[in-house]
A and B are shown apart, each in its own frame.
Chain A
Amino acid sequence: MWRYLRDIGKGFWSILLSMQITLRYLFTRAVTVQYPEEKRELPTRALTRHVLTIDLESKDLKCTACDMCARICPVNCIYLEGEGKGKARRATWFIIDHNLCMYCNLCVEVCPFDAISMWTGQYELGGFSRTNLVYGLDTMTADGFYPTIMTPRPPAGAAVKAPAAAGAGKQERKG
C-alpha cells in the first residue's frame, strides 16, 4: 500500500519536473535561422562554387590548361581545352558542371598554379534548368572575383600580393 502511494507520488513528481523542463525550453530562443532573410556566416574556408584566378600583373588567367584538375575530379565534371605551348598555354574553354560537382576541393589541391579556387562564398546556385549550373569561362572569371581571390576575405588595406602567395602555399600543404 505504501509503495503504491509512493509510486503515484513519484510519477506525479517526475511529470511536474519534466513539465518544468519543457516550459523552460518553451521560452528559450529558437535556434532556427530564417534563411532567405537572415543568413548564417560561412566558415572562412567554406568550399563553394569555383572561380578561376587571375594573375595580378599580366591580368591573365593563371590556368595553363594542364588538365590535372579534370583528371583528378572524381566525378569527371571538369571539361577543358587549351591552346599554346609551355607557359604560354591558356585555356580556351573551361567548363565545370555544378550539377555533378560534390565540392571535394581535389581540383583546387591538385592545381600546380593555384589557378582555381573554391573560396567564393557563393552557395546559392539555384537555377531553373540543369544548364544553369554548367559554368563556363565567363561565369568563372566574373567581375565579382576580379582580380583574384587567393585567401578568403583578405584584410582590408593589406598588400594583396604577398599574403596571397603565402595563403595559397599554405592551402596546398594542408591538403
Chain B
Amino acid sequence: MIGGVLESLYGLFGEWWIIPRLIEMFVVVSIIIGFISVAAMFLIWWERKISAHIQVRFGPMRVGGWHGWAQSIADGIKLLLKEDIIPARADRPIFILAPMVVFASALAAYVVIPFGPGLIVQDLNIGILYIIAISSLAVLGIIMAGWSSNNKYAALGALRSAAQAVSYEIPLIISLLGPLLIVGSLSMTKIVEAQYVPFILVQPLAFLIYFTCAVAETNRLPFDIPEAESELVAGFHVEYSGMRFAIFFMAEYANMFVVCAIATTVFLGGWKGPLLPPVAWFLIKTFFLLFVMMWLRWTLTRTRVDQLMNVAWKVLLPLAFVNLGITGLVMLLYPVG
C-alpha cells in the first residue's frame, strides 16, 4: 500500500521526482526520530527501574500511575521548559552544534538497521561499514562539546572520550570481521540471511569482544570515564542544560540501541526466530542485549584510564586478531562453511 501511494506521488510530479523523494525522506526520518524518542524514553525509565531493583528499591513509582511509566515523559517536558544556558565564554556556534552532531550520528545509523525482512530504510551494500563510519562521528560531537564548553572537566572528558573511542573502535571492527568473513557481504540483510545458526554459536569470542567494545563505545559503565561523575562531574556535558542536555541523553540511549541492534544482526540472527513475527524477534533480542548492558552497568565499577587502555590494547585487540586468524584458517580449510 505504501508502495502504491509512493508510486502515485512520483507519477503526480513527473520529472519533478525530487519533490516526492524529499517528502519520502522527510516521512522516513520522522518515523525514525519518533522511534528513537519512544525507545529512548522507555530505556531511560527501564534503566531506572532495573537500577532501583538491583539496589532493592523501587525507582520511579508516582508519575503516570502504573510504576511511574510516565516518568521519562515528565522529565522530557521538564527539560524542554528549562532555561537554556550557554556559558558566557563558550564557543557559541560549536557549543550549539555539538549535541546535534552527536544525535545526528546516532540517527544516521538507524538507516541500515534491519528490523525485519524488507523493514530497512536503505539496504546499503556496505551497511556495516557505514554504521562503523557514522558512529565514529559521535566522538567528534563529544570533542566539540567538551572543547567549546571552556571548562576543564568538559575538556578532560572529551579527550578521554577520544582516546577511548580510538582504542575501542579497532578491536570492535576486527571482531566484526570474523562473522563478515563467513557471510562474505557487508549488507545487513545479507548478514541476517546468512545465519542458519546465530553467529554467537560460531563466533562466541567475537561476540564477547564486540559487546565489550560496544559498551565502551557508548561510554557506559564500567567504561564511562569520559563522564565519570565522581572525578569529572559529568564530563563533556557539564555545561549543558535543558533541551541540549536532553539531546545528549537521548543520543546516548539511541547509540546503545544501535550497538545492540548491530550485535543482534550480526551475532544473534537478527529477525530470525520461530512463531513470533520477525520484528518482534528483532526487538526482543535487542532489548535483551540492552538489558544485559544495564545489568553490567549496575554490577561493575568504573575502570581506571590505564586499565581501560590495557583492556583494549593488551586483551581485546590480540584476542580479536586470534579470532580473525582462526576464522580465516577454518574458512580456508573448509571453504563451504
Q: Which residues of A contact B (CB under 8 A)?
A: 8, 12, 15, 18-19, 21-23, 25-32, 34
Contact = CB atoms under 8 A, between A and B. Distances in A.
Interface stretch (B40-48, B125-133, B243-251, B296-304): B296-304
A29 B57 CA distance: 8
Contacts of A30: 52-53, 56-58
Contact of B53 (A8, A12, A21, A26): A26
A26 B50 contact: yes
B55 interface: yes
A25 B300 contact: no
Given A8-B315, A26-B50, A34-B61, A15 B299 contact: yes
Interface string B204-216: 0000100000000
B315 A32 contact: no
A25 B54 contact: yes
A27 B319 CA distance: 35
Given A18-B299, A19-B296, 20 more contacts: A12-B208, A15-B299, A15-B300, A18-B300, A19-B295, A19-B299, A22-B295, A22-B298, A22-B299, A25-B56, A26-B53, A26-B54, A26-B295, A27-B53, A28-B56, A29-B56, A30-B53, A30-B57, A30-B58, A34-B61
Contacts of B56: 25, 28-31
Contacts of A12: 208
Interface residues of B, number: 17
A9 B55 CA distance: 28
Contacts of B53: 25-27, 30
24 contacts: A8-B315, A8-B319, A12-B208, A15-B296, A15-B299, A15-B300, A18-B300, A19-B295, A19-B296, A19-B299, A21-B299, A22-B295, A25-B54, A25-B55, A26-B50, A27-B53, A28-B56, A29-B56, A30-B52, A30-B58, A31-B56, A32-B57, A32-B58, A34-B58
Nearest to A14: B300
Contacts of A22: 54, 295, 298-299
Contacts of A26: 50, 53-54, 295
A23 B315 CA distance: 27
Nearest to B299: A22
Interface in B48-68: 50, 52-58, 61
Nearest to B61: A34
B53 to A, nearest CB: 5
A22 B279 CA distance: 30
A96 B310 CA distance: 65
Interface string B133-176: 00000000000000000000000000000000000000000000
A30 B295 CA distance: 17
Interface string B314-331: 010001000000000000
Nearest to A31: B56
A23 B300 CA distance: 13
- Residue among B54, B57, B315 with the most chain A CB within 10 A? B54
A21 B54 CA distance: 9
Contacts of A25: 53-56
A112 B24 CA distance: 87
